[in-house]
């Protein structure tokens, strides 16, 4: 029996349609055998390893030769003509040793080329490092230019290295600490070909890393960092070290043009890459304000972004969180570098490890429904502690002016203990016991109208979660009152004169459970490590002071101050660690491995 012409045409159309639908799958299986469905899989067992010196176009060490960046590449052994995306891990911490990064072993089996890149003036790269400045950023950017055929690369024997023979120019950057910082920095240049970055525990503004609203954490911090990472192969670079330190201006703690170059948030509008931000909520090295203010700028400019927050400190999440981290990380790279349609753009924006160490997600971050709530400060006469409320206190219900005198140069977290106990060296403002959970998600701002009795004074605000016998310090940040007008200008204070000081606290995500009290603890601090400390008395005008917090939940319990029960704390959770410069840099180095 023969088929009719009409039936044959219908069958032919069906076969053609099936072939058309199957063609992309067959092509993918043929051209990209490491892709299964919409994800990359371990496929390659053999890798090609190469070392390339990339010209930066600059002679920063002034030796008459263009500076070069040493790039060590691991890429899978593919069929000729196959071009792969490039994952870049740039770092100042290779120190002319085995680079020891985890990314080559993980990504190269899955169809990615991986490059470890030594920053200018470090390892075997020439030129000079300049602690987050143009030398460092433009030198590293040259590697992405090379991957796209815009810069020259040479093998160690001097022959030309053409990256376009094996990479499609689609690059991503990843790294922890300084390594993640350079990813932020290069992305802020808007360089063509950088499609995504994963900054982990990374700096978005070096000013905020070395000081807190005008208060330097340490003296000679910049010089210490420069000397730690630099190879000093040329005397020009060693001579640069004290110059960098002088320009950083420890004496005033002010934000100046030198810091502006190292403030990548200012150039967030230039970013064309997507950004997967990763940070530890208890990181006291690169503090959480670094990701919080960066995230705000990314949101303001509509940058595609995702967030992974954990309860750890300054750590490499690949080692600490395993597949909980690498699964979303790989999906992120697969989408933005391999072009796989795996649902990343509509996936939950935030992955967060909660207080009990379980994991949760949010469609957006801060989560929908979060509002900036201004909490009023007051001191009802019959209450065991001054109050935090959403509504202002009545004019006759308490004391308006509250004073304290702190004898020590710096406070410790023990100052938050026993918040209902009267003490003369602090102020504590305490919410009612919560009748329902309340979530803090984002950046808190403290605004105080105050006067002091010394020409120099610093303050610290701590957000505390009081749970009966324990006090969990959620976030803490210092500020120099002398920078009340601007971070760019420091002024001596006139004793007895009123000033208004506002400063942001380090970002956080914390759920205050039912029955807990939300507390704000204000203490005095040494305003600059180069200036001696005289015990300072601070007076706060509560009527003209407030705390603005990003909150989600039932705020009804915070409307009016009610009586609070005595709170006697026996433990401090998440206590501040006493770290010096050497310990910070050790964490920087260890965290990047």
Catalytic residue check, 130:
no
Place of tokens 């802020």: 188
User: Which one of 226, 279, 314, 335 is the catalytic residue?
Assistant: 314
Distance of CA 186 to the CA centre of its chain: 15
Question: SS3 for 130-141, per residue?
Answer: CCCCHHHHHHHH
Cis peptide before 366 (omega within 30 of 0): yes
Beta bridge partners of 398: 380
Q: What is the dihedral sign for C-alpha 367, 368, 369, 375?
A: positive
Catalytic residue check, 204:
no
User: Which one of 177, 188, 274, 431 is the catalytic residue?
Assistant: 177
Tell me which residue of 28, 30, 6, 26 sits closest to 18, measured CA to CA.
26
Instruction: DSSP for 29-82, please give it.
Output: HHH-TTEETTEE------EEEEEEEEE-S--TT-SSS--EEEEEEEEE---TT-
User: Which one of 123, 208, 250, 283 is the catalytic residue?
Assistant: 283
Other CB atoms within a 10 A radius of the CB of residue 448 amount to 25
Catalytic residue check, 425:
no
Rounded to whole angstroms, how far apart are CA atoms 449 and 425? 18
Query: Using an 8 Å Cβ cutoff, are 381 and 397 in contact?
Result: yes
> Residue 405 burial by CB count (10 A; 0-12/13-18/19+): exposed, middle or buried?
middle
Q: What is the dihedral sign for C-alpha 6, 11, 12, 18?
A: positive
Question: SS3 for 211-238, per residue?
Answer: EECCEECCCCHHHHHHHHHCCCCCHHHH
Rounded to whole angstroms, how far apart are CA atoms 397 and 386? 11
Other CB atoms within a 10 A radius of the CB of residue 102 amount to 14
Report CA-CA distances (Å) from 180 to 175, 176, 185, 276, 566: 4, 5, 9, 11, 45
Other CB atoms within a 10 A radius of the CB of residue 202 amount to 27
Q: Hey, which residues are catalytic here? A: 177, 283, 314
């Amino acid at each position: 029996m023969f088929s009719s012409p009409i039936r044959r045409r219908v069958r032919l159309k069906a076969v053609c349609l099936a072939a058309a639908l199957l063609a992309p799958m067959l092509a993918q299986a043929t051209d990209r055998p490491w892709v299964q469905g919409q994800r990359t899989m371990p496929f390659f067992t053999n890798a090609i390893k190469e070392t390339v010196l990339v010209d930066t176009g600059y002679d920063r060490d002034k030796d008459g030769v263009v500076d070069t960046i040493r790039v060590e590449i691991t890429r899978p052994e593919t069929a000729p003509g196959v071009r792969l995306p490039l994952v870049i891990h740039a770092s100042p911490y290779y120190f002319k040793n085995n680079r020891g990064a985890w990314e080559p072993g993980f990504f190269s089996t899955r169809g990615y080329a991986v490059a470890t890149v030594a920053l200018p003036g470090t390892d075997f790269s020439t030129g000079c490092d300049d602690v987050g400045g143009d030398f460092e950023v433009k030198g590293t950017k040259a590697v992405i230019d090379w991957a796209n055929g815009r810069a020259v690369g040479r093998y160690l024997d001097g022959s030309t290295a053409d990256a376009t023979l094996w990479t499609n120019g689609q690059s991503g950057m990843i790294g922890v600490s300084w390594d993640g910082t350079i990813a932020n920095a290069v992305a802020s240049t808007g360089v063509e070909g950088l499609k995504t970055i994963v900054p982990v525990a990374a700096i978005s503004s070096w000013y905020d890393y070395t000081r807190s609203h005008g208060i330097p954490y340490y003296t000679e911090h910049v010089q210490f960092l420069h000397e730690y990472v630099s190879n000093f192969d040329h005397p020009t670079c060693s001579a640069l070290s004290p110059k960098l330190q002088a320009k950083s201006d420890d004496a005033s703690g002010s934000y100046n043009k030198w810091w502006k170059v190292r403030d990548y948030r200012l150039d967030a509008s230039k970013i064309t890459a997507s950004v997967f931000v990763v940070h530890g909520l208890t990181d006291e090295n690169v503090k959480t304000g670094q990701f919080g203010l960066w995230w705000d700028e990314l949101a303001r400019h509509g940058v595609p972004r995702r967030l992974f927050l954990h309860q750890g400190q300054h750590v490499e999440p690949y080692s600490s969180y395993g597949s909980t981290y690498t699964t979303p990380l790989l999906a992120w790279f697969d989408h933005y570098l391999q072009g796989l349609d795996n649902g990343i753009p509509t996936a939950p924006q935030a992955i967060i490890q909660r207080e009990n160490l379980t994991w949760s997600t949010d469609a957006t971050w801060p989560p929908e429904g979060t509002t900036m709530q201004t909490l009023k400060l007051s001191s009802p006469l019959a209450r065991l502690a001054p109050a935090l409320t959403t509504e202002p206190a009545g004019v006759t219900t308490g004391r308006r002016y509250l004073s304290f005198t702190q004898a020590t140069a710096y406070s410790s977290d023990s100052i938050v203990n026993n918040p209902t106990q009267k003490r003369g060296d602090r102020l504590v403002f305490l919410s009612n016991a919560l009748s329902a959970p309340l979530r803090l998600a984002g950046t808190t701002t403290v605004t105080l109208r105050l006067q002091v009795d010394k020409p120099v004074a610093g303050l610290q605000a701590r957000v505390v979660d009081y749970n009966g016998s324990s006090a969990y310090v959620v976030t803490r940040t210092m500020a120099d009152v002398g920078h009340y007008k601007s971070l760019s200008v420091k002024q001596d204070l006139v004793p007895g004169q009123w000033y208004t000081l506002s400063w942001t606290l380090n970002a956080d995500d914390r759920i205050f459970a039912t029955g807990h009290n939300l507390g704000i603890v204000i203490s005095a601090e040494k305003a600059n490590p180069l200036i001696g400390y005289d015990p300072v008395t601070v007076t706060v005008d509560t009527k003209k002071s407030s705390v603005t917090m990003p909150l989600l939940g039932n705020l009804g319990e915070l409307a009016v101050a009610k009586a609070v029960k005595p709170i006697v704390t026996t433990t401090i959770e998440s206590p501040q660690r006493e770290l010096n410069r050497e310990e910070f840099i050790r964490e920087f180095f260890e965290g990047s491995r």
